[in-house]
């Protein structure tokens, strides 16, 4: 399934057709940012899977990553800060035939939206969640986020270094009940596309963490203002899941690949369809 369905010019057209190129571009993202890479990869992944644009709904919250919703040509829902997951839950339950994708950043999904993340995973709502982890609140200027590593490097709201411990997004997802959990990075573009396609193909609550570079803020704070340097940092810290004994016990590395996959758990919509059947049967009696 990793082979593109399209080749040559047709592939390019199909890919470009996924963006609102007319007047929404150029985008607001900084040069060297990883969000554009992730957005383009999402467009490629959906094109290669043959997902119809009219059946795709991309939901986001607030932050740099959440701006992705404004550039994609499909139904797009730019909601409140932290609230993409509950909003997407409403869309999915109201129109189960739609492919509902949530795209958000580490601050949006893991801090202000953390509780929604946990409960959507617990319910196994049929959503695909892409969390772009750039370790910082980028839109507001580089404040510490729940994934900012504990370190002596300053963040805008941790000028003496960050004393708080960071979240492992994938571990949180698994512990909360997500049925598919994977990690990739903005450096490993082919791998990222593969992971996106897998996540999109899974029923239930699927989570893909995308480790990404923010050279403008996090990078500068960590002494890696050059995007290439940041990408090399991501590359050097990444290790494939096949090369580790226990992916949950690896310190200071990004373990990439599929970390957790339980296809047998029925998604919420399927179970609620059963509730409807039961309610209707009792109503008739």
Which residues of this protein are in contact with another protein, per CB under 8 A? 24, 53-55, 57, 59, 69-70, 73-80, 83, 85-95, 97-98, 115-116, 118-119, 272, 275-276, 278-280, 282-283
* Joined tokens for residue 281: 């049967």
Report the nearest approach of another protein to the CB of residue 133 (Å). Answer: 22
Question: Considering just the CA atoms, what is the radius of gyration of the chain in Å?
Answer: 19
Nearer to another protein by Cβ, of 127 and 181: the residue is 127
Going by the DSSP 8-state scheme, the letter that residue 155 receives in this structure is B
Judged by beta carbon, residue 69 or residue 186, the one nearer another protein is 69
Cα–Cα distance for residue pair 16/34, rounded to 1 Å:
18
Rounded CA separation 192/197 (Å): 9
- Of 235, 236, 211, 215, the C-alpha closest to 225 is 215
Give whichever of 245 and 276 is closer to another protein, judged by the CB atom.
276
Half-sphere exposure of 131 (CA within 13 A, CB side): 30
Nearer CB in complex with another protein: 71/254: 71
The CB-of-69 to another protein minimum distance in angstroms stands at: 7
Taking the complex as a whole, how short is the minimal distance between the CB of residue 265 and another protein, in angstroms?
18
Closest approach, Cβ 190 to another protein, in A, equals 29
Structure tokens at 43: 């467009």
């Amino acid at each position: 399934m990793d082979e593109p369905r399209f080749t040559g010019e047709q592939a390019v057209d199909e890919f470009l057709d996924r963006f609102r190129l007319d007047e929404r571009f150029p985008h607001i993202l900084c040069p060297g940012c990883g969000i554009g890479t992730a957005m383009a990869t999402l467009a490629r992944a959906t094109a290669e899977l043959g997902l119809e644009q009219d059946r795709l709904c991309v939901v986001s919250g607030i932050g740099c990553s959440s701006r992705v919703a404004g550039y994609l040509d499909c139904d797009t829902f730019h909601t409140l800060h932290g609230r993409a997951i509950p909003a997407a839950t409403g869309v999915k339950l109201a129109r189960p035939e739609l492919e509902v994708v949530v795209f958000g950043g580490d601050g949006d999904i893991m801090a202000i939206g953390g509780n929604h993340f946990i409960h959507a995973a617990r319910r196994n709502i049929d959503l695909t969640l892409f969390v772009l982890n750039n370790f910082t609140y980028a839109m507001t200027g580089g404040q510490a986020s729940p994934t900012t590593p504990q370190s002596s490097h300053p963040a805008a709201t941790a000028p003496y270094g960050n004393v708080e411990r960071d979240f492992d997004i994938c571990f949180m997802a698994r512990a909360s009940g997500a049925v598919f959990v994977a990690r990739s990075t903005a450096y490993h573009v082919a791998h990222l596309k593969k992971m996106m396609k897998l996540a999109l193909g899974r029923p239930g609550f699927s989570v893909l963490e995308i480790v990404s570079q923010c050279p403008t803020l996090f990078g500068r704070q960590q002494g890696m203002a050059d995007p290439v340097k940041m990408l090399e940092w991501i590359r050097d810290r990444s290790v494939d899941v096949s090369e580790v004994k226990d992916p949950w016990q690896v310190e200071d590395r990004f373990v990439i690949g599929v970390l957790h996959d339980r296809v047998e758990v029925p998604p919420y919509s399927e179970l609620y369809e059963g509730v409807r059947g039961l309610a209707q049967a009792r109503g008739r009696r």
